[in-house]
Amino acid sequence: MERTDGIIDLLVVGGGTAGIVGAKTAARLGANTVLVEYARTGGDCLWTGCVPSKTLLSAARSSAAERALGGRGAAFTEVRARIAQAIAAIEPDDSPASLDSVGASVLTGTVRFTAPGEADVDGRTVRFRQALIATGSAPLVPPIPGSAKAHVVTSETVWDLEELPQRLVIIGGGPIACELGQAFARLGSAVVMLVRSKILPKEDRDAAAIVRDSLQKDGVEIVEGVETESISTVPEDGNSSGGDPRSVVHTSGGRVFDADVILIAAGRKARTEGLGLEHVGVECDSAGHVVVDSGMRTSNPRIWAAGDVTPHPDFTHLAGVYASTAASNAVLGVHRSVSTIVPRVTFTSPEVAAVGATTAEGKGQTISTVLHAHSDRAITEGQTSGFTRLVIGKGGRILGGTIVGPRAGESLGELTLAVHQKLTTRDLAGVTHPYPTFNDALWNAAIADARTALESPLVRTAMTGLVKFNRWRNRRS
């Protein structure tokens, strides 16, 4: 076994968003940094997540609009080519060359921790002062009887499809299921979503209802409150031989659904298997996530973790920000805590964007909602089914909210800043917004709450007194 000379300041395990950001942060701070990735840098976001899925959604939206005007719509080969082009355009930013340009080295291999301060990389021992675990997560595939013989794909392997499935059954109802379900339906697939509970269970129920209605208008059949019990696969013609294979998904209640392809979008699991965490005292929770503190440090003070491998939500933007914090803490010896204010967006049409509190649960909390039927920009665009909703605490402080509509994720930036900076509705109402924009609804929701303060008896009495005083002063002058 070869032993390297010297000790690495920061060993980064994994080349996805968290690993890349963490490695670049450490290298720019002057640390001797080595990133190890077993396959290709870029991670799920570049290859099987954010980039391909948002490109697919965009292509599907354009295709549906073209067909609505009497055109043919996009062929699946054209959609696949567009996805490949998007990945190719973004890939250089995540490449080993981009890491090398800031001073971080990249090794190809599999890491296994062997002892305190040591790890094995494909037979080579590397020594490190600090390490960052950024191995991400993988799709969770439940053991459904009969699934081994069916054409089953996940959010990672759905991109390998060369032909558009005529009948697509999706098991799951979260953001991935909703986004892919709408996209494939708009491209021409007959889509059925089998949901264990309700779609978008973490979102405002009014928001989820709008998305449900939109999906159904696109032709998606949504079946909520069902369990997938088994999958049987038979030839299309019903005989024991000959014909293309056809899958039948059996659910609770005795319902069955035909499928050419079955997409399982039932959650994700942390990639920690084979890392040798037991040799370095890194604890995991019951779900297999690496446990971290507010500064992203694990139970081993020399090892840190960030991204989907931790219990924090599986968002690319979170992985990058938290990895940067972890890396700077590790190489500088400081202790910066990560923000717990996490924005999230489901990129369906319409989008659902949320941050902080989405319901009024605490004492004194209130809700201010502006329906987009009263938003001038939404009216001009003919997209009035959404809304903007603020959750407001004592003193008018903005605690969070939900936005449903086109480009809701863009409007969420201002709301996220307001929550982070502990702004009040009066603060937001006092900022001039351009007109007409979808952000008008956010502004008007703040204005509506700020006006309620003017309606209290005490304030109204004070305002009346000021008006009378100013009237008297004007008469004297």
The CATH label, of 3.30.1120.130, 3.30.390.30, 3.40.50.620, 3.40.50.300, for the domain at 350-454 is 3.30.390.30
Other CB atoms within 10 Å distance of the CB of residue 174: 18
> Can you list the alpha helix ranges (DSSP code H) found in 400-439?
408-420, 425-429
- CATH code of 2-41+95-139+269-332, in short, is 3.50.50.60
For the chain, residues classed under CATH 3.50.50.60 are 2-41+95-139+269-332, 147-266
- CATH 3.40.50.150 assigned to 147-266: no
Question: Between the CA of residue 71 and those of 20, 60, 166, 421, 444, what are the distances in Å?
Answer: 42, 13, 20, 48, 39
| Residues 309, 329 contacting (CB under 8 angstroms) | no
Q: At what angle do helices 17-28 and 316-332 cross, to 10 degrees?
A: 30
Helix, coil or strand: residue 137: strand
Query: In a structure prediction context, what are the per-residue pLDDT tens digits for the chain, which is 477 residues long?
Result: 333 447 999 999 999 999 999 999 999 999 999 999 999 999 999 999 999 999 999 999 999 999 989 998 899 999 999 999 999 999 999 999 999 999 999 999 999 999 999 999 999 999 999 999 999 999 999 999 999 999 999 999 999 999 999 999 999 999 999 999 999 999 999 999 999 999 999 999 999 999 999 999 999 999 999 999 999 998 765 544 444 578 999 999 899 999 999 999 999 999 999 999 999 999 999 999 999 999 999 999 999 999 999 999 999 999 999 999 999 999 999 999 999 999 999 999 999 999 999 999 888 899 999 999 999 999 999 999 999 999 999 999 999 999 999 999 999 999 999 999 999 999 999 999 999 999 999 999 999 998 887 676 776 677 677 778 788 788 877
**What residue ranges of the chain are covered by domains with CATH 3.30.390.30?**
350-454
> Would the pTM of this model clear 0.85, i.e. be above it?
yes
Asked if 169 and 180 touch (Cβ cutoff 8 Å), the reply is no
